[in-house]
Amino acid sequence: MAYLCRRLPTLLPAGSLRNAACVGWKHVCDRPRFMTTAATQTACESHEPHFLQSVESYFDHAAKLSNVSEGTLSHIRAVDSMIRVTFPIELDDGRTEVIEGYRAQHSRHRLPVKGGIRYSEEVDLQEVEALASLMTYKCAVVDVPFGGAKGGIKIDPSRYTLDQLERITRRYTMELCQKKFIGPGVDVPAPDVGTGPREMSWIMDTYRQFNPDDINAQGCVTGKPLAQGGVRGRTEATGLGVYYGVREFLTYPEIQKLTGLTGKIKDTTVIVQGFGNVGYYAAKFFESNGAKVIGIGERDCSVFDRHGLDIEALFKHHRSTGSFRGYSDSVEIIDEPTQVLERDCDILIPAALERQIGLRNADKIKAKIVGEAANGPMTPGAHELLEKRGIVVIPDLLLNAGGVTVSYFEWLKNLSHVRFGRMNKKWDESVRTKLLTVVEENAGRVLTEAERKQIVHGAEEADLIYSGLEDTMISSCEETRQTANLKKVDYRTAAYINAIQKIATVYEGSGMIFMT
């Protein structure tokens, strides 16, 4: 196995890339899109690890405290399978372009494996490996019975027509089908950066063409449109999970003591970096529950207003113009987008790409809580520095798990072939109506029609999805908190310890560690 540097035509053995000291090309290769050239140079000089090394570093630190055998840890740490595919696509001008795609299955201790597919020019095998590893640990942390996987196609989707994107997606899916890297019981993709319900519907349709007799074909992918087996609540799931997680941590007395916050979302100040699906919904839920969202960061610039932003109005402006510029004369436009991370606030939500907080800017972070809504937004050195400064870091493998949790619910819906709430909604309403009638007769007061409807209303699919997600996040946050307090470690290490121990139980209990 070898890794191809994205920026330089140099082929390096895997071991030399994983273990090499920091050199300038490595950071250029892994440069996040939010970073400027100057910031990239600063990152190179800081000698920080790349994304995959960061994930492995977090894992290794937690592994020492997990009481799991070395053999099992080695098995958990390694990526099970990876593929790299190339295929041609004919462009409108008659030229042929070779498209490059990847899929990594990190751990098959539980099947199917689960993980998104992203379309980005930054995609490479290292990134896919790192994200697949995170998915394994993420699923374990929130008790979702999947292994971890991740995939990507190395393109900028904005450069292609709708027809070209469909052909790219279908050809990539064909490659996955031929190599047994997709299926409802094998590997279930989902949306990620640059993809959405449209791409997932193309993937499902292509899979069906290769597997016409599979009655569970809808379950081969999640994040689909509702009409094609999707589930209500999936679009906002990750952002909502971020809100639930931060809200839960604010209720812990030790967090209140450390941060000086009251324990309530209301009146806290929030900055969100990234205004895609995750960032938009996270900001929206914080705002609707009383928080003041004072800053939003995007690729070309950031916007800041100490009095609070109107998230919906800002979203509409950004969607129509592609930028925050021209939104309002009363708000501050920050030309260097990453500088919004350094503004004073109570809660900072990095919801963009990996490695946005590093040693180059960790000492400038002024937030009391950093909630990682993106995958890998912080380097190990930055994490250590923030912890020493008393800033609470809620890790990505816990806070970012809302998406895979609701994807799990969608997968269950596809396998059961029935919409959540369909079997019991009217029964619940009839029982509540009878109970309410008895209460009214004994209380001597008849409720208004509006009051009656509010009380009697049976749970629909979205209600059940929200309830399941909220319960999952509350339980996982508490479990992480308990391990952190017991082991006297930070929350990231605690989450990794929990994940490692759960995965090890499966490996050792099934004898998988001894299989050849």
Residues near 442 by beta carbon (within 8 Å), at least 6 away in sequence: none
Q: What is the CB neighbour count within 10 angstroms for residue 211?
A: 16
Phi, psi of 266 (to 5 degrees): -55, 130
Cβ–Cβ < 8 Å for 171, 89: yes
Cβ–Cβ < 8 Å for 304, 337: no
179 is catalytic: no
Q: What is the CB neighbour count within 10 angstroms for residue 212?
A: 7
Edge-to-edge strand ranges of the sheet holding 392-394: 332-334, 302-304, 292-297, 269-273, 347-350, 369-371, 392-394
Residues near 266 by beta carbon (within 8 Å), at least 6 away in sequence: 289, 290, 291
DSSP per-residue string spanning 138-198:
HHHHTT---EEEEEEE-S-GGGS-HHHHHHHHHHHHHHHHHTT--BTTTEEEEE-TT--HH
CA torsion through residues 279, 282, 286, 288, sign: positive
Cβ–Cβ < 8 Å for 177, 95: no
Q: What is the CB neighbour count within 10 angstroms for residue 127?
A: 27
Q: d(Cα 355, Cα 377) in Å, to the nearest integer?
A: 4
Phi, psi of 287 (to 5 degrees): -65, -45
Helix (H) or strand (E) holding 91: none
Burial class from Cβ neighbours inside 10 Å (0-12, 13-18, 19+) for residue 253 reads exposed
DSSP 322: S
Q: Which of 26, 114, 138, 150 is catalytic?
A: 150
Q: d(Cα 298, Cα 352) in Å, to the nearest integer?
A: 8
Cβ–Cβ < 8 Å for 193, 353: yes
Edge-to-edge strand ranges of the sheet holding 81-90: 81-90, 96-105, 147-153, 113-119, 187-191
Report, as residue numbers or ranges, the catalytic residues: 150
